[in-house]
Structure 1
Amino acid sequence: MPATEWGWLVTPEELENWILQDDDHVLLVNKPALLVCHPSKNGPWSSLAGACREYLQSERSHLVSRLDRETSGIVLFAKHRLKSRHLQMALERRKVSKTYIAILEGELKEETLVDAPLGPDTQSIVHSKNTVRHDGRRQDAQTRYTPLYTNGRYTLAKVDPITGRKHQIRAHALHIGHHIVGDKLYGPDEGLFLDFIEDGWTEAIAKVLPINRHALHAYRMVFDLEDGPETYIAPLTQDLVDFCSQNLGLSTESLEEILQKL
């Protein structure tokens, strides 16, 4: 796994280990954290989309679902235009339900529906940051957080975004006082985000954040298609499994039992 400042160069062997489904219509990948989806200047093997096109030896694969660099989980490619059209139409018509798994700071005691519009955070030093707004430029946004397990310090939660706004899950988590563990932008100090861009992961940042990325994972997508529902699931990545073991006291077996009930 040759490292770069912003991730790594994917090897074919690594990619094969991340592939969950490979058939005539789709390629389903369990994306690890710290890997970008879109091609970069470092060549095709520096991004998931580039690596998958090299693996498939096809320029016709269509990226249906994508994730930001630090979020792990489901990334879906359609292998031909007809499948891409069906999946994209379902997304446009909001006939897709998404479920994320997040580790939140603090104890979330009960299911919480956040119904709060989001817009640019004009008070932030980071221009890309969003916040809850009730005036100016904003979009309606709703997110449901359901606690699955907590030890008081952290909460393992199921997250159902009802709308799909930029940074919605992270901004709403901050709004209810339970930011996502490891979040450099919506966590305890947004300056960490700029520090990370400037210097990468450092000992100073590690003293503040207990994990090197925000603990958010795209766990399940269900497409409501004319021929019936299609469900895609990506198991938690190993870094989150390890965090749950070390910080929540959840064994791998206990964690799997919790997730199987979703």
Structure 2
Amino acid sequence: MIKCFNSIKNCYDCAMTNPSPPTSGVQLLEVAPELAGQRIDNFLRTQLKGVPKTLIYRILRKGEVRVNKGRIKPEYKLQAGDIVRVPPLRLAERDEPEPLAQGLLQRLEAAIVYEDKALIVLNKPAGIAVHGGSGLNYGVIEAFRQLRPDAKDIELVHRLDRDTSGLLMIAKKRSMLRHLHEALRGDGVDKRYMALVRGHWATAKKQVNAPLLKSNLRSGERMVEVNPEGKEALTIFRVLRRFGEFATLVEAKPVTGRTHQIRVHTQHAGHCIAGDSKYGDDDFTKEIRALGGKRLFLHAYELTVPLPEGGKLKLEAPVDEMWVRTVERLGA
């Protein structure tokens, strides 16, 4: 049996008549010129779709993978024409990725707005968690650990709520992570959000300064409320556009970085955010949904951060099509 690809020739030493065999056959992979220079571990992770990373490194450590009939180390860099021999793999050990997971990888790759050797900034879509847990297999950080396997120290710099969209920073190096955490603790990072809120936000209402207290309900759900025993929290607001008395588009700049800060501060001001199932108004959300707005209308649209070598990086991220269409219908 011979199976050919554009970049490799994949030949099985033994034909398989069982449609669901317990093991694959020995595989011989010929390295095409365009794949030369890759490390063997990264090459195998790309070519052996669905095979867990732990299994790939196990067969490399045991010397079961051969290149030109000789043993190699995981950091070996392939040359054009190399013949890579992969031992039989138990198919039961394969962890086939779900279609949604593959779609997530592609969607997040396309969402990158800036990348250098130490930093990734993406325009996170609404509805995607920043990390797995609580029944979620994948989040942004798990996806980028697959998308950037050579970035061994990749970590989230900060977080966005699952239903909030916009600019999210991921550090690829520990030095960048430390630098940005220090900047976040001070006033070196400027983050600005757009929010569509209920009612007429007065121009004179330029800030909400109200302490926030975080608690967990019996169900495990996390809630935040304005409480004098809470932590200091300050958000600066600016009116961007009004839609009569019905709604206002505001800019929110969180001076402090508390959980759910903008969502709770807008609620406290009497102008909850459209689509907020936790702190919002059901009737307002229903009216926005009737216009096609089926999301939380909170978006991190502008980010300014200091760079380690000096200077500043300023980025902006557009809102999605659903947001654009909803606002257009509001203004019609």
TM-score category, normalised to shorter length: 0.7 to 0.9
Give the corresponding residue for 1:78. 171
Q: Following TM superposition, by how much is the alpha carbon of 1:124 offset from its aligned partner in structure 2, in angstroms? A: 11
Q: Secondary structure at the match of 2:279?
A: coil
CA distance in 2, matches of 1:182, 1:156: 14
Give the corresponding residue for 2:316. 233
Q: Quick one: structure 1 residues 48 and 128, their matched pair in 2 at CA, closer, same or farther if it must change by over 3 Å?
A: same
1:222/1:231 contact within 8 Å kept: yes
The reply on whether 1:54 has 2:146 as its aligned counterpart is: yes
CA distance in 1, matches of 2:107, 2:182: 31
Matching residue's letter, 2:295? R
Q: Following TM superposition, by how much is the alpha carbon of 1:127 offset from its aligned partner in structure 2, in angstroms? A: 5.5
Q: Following TM superposition, by how much is the alpha carbon of 1:172 offset from its aligned partner in structure 2, in angstroms? A: 0.8
Matching residue's letter, 1:248? G
CA distance in 2, matches of 1:16, 1:49: 12
CA distance in 1, matches of 2:200, 2:102: 38
The reply on whether 1:115 has 2:244 as its aligned counterpart is: no
Give the corresponding residue for 1:87. 180
Give the corresponding residue for 1:252. none
Give the corresponding residue for 1:18. 111
Q: Quick one: structure 1 residues 9 and 182, their matched pair in 2 at CA, closer, same or farther if it must change by over 3 Å?
A: farther
Q: Following TM superposition, by how much is the alpha carbon of 1:65 offset from its aligned partner in structure 2, in angstroms? A: 2.4
Give the corresponding residue for 2:240. 148
- Alignment TM-score, normalising by the size of structure 2: 0.61
2:198/2:274 contact within 8 Å kept: yes
Listed as ranges, the gaps of 5+ residues in structure 2 are: 1-97
Give the corresponding residue for 1:248. 331
Deviations 1:77-111 (A, max 9, x none): 11112222211111122321210011111111314
Runs of 4+ in 1 over 3 A off after TM superposition: 8-12, 40-43, 120-127, 205-209
Aligned counterpart in structure 2 of residue 97 of structure 1, from 161, 170, 190? 190
1:9/1:47 contact within 8 Å kept: no
The residue correspondences of 1:152-171 to structure 2 (distance < 5 A) are 152=244, 153-171=246-264
2:167/2:300 contact within 8 Å kept: yes
Matching residue's letter, 1:212? K
| Bigger Cα Rg | 2
The reply on whether 1:220 has 2:305 as its aligned counterpart is: no
- Alignment TM-score, normalising by the size of structure 1: 0.76
Please provide the CA RMSD for this pair: 2.9
Q: Following TM superposition, by how much is the alpha carbon of 1:142 offset from its aligned partner in structure 2, in angstroms? A: 1.1
Q: Following TM superposition, by how much is the alpha carbon of 1:121 offset from its aligned partner in structure 2, in angstroms? A: 7.1
CA distance in 2, matches of 1:206, 1:133: 26
Q: Following TM superposition, by how much is the alpha carbon of 1:14 offset from its aligned partner in structure 2, in angstroms? A: 1.7
Give the corresponding residue for 1:200. none
Q: Quick one: structure 1 residues 150 and 126, their matched pair in 2 at CA, closer, same or farther if it must change by over 3 Å?
A: farther
Give the corresponding residue for 1:139. 231
Deviations 1:213-233 (A, max 9, x none): 321011122224561222232
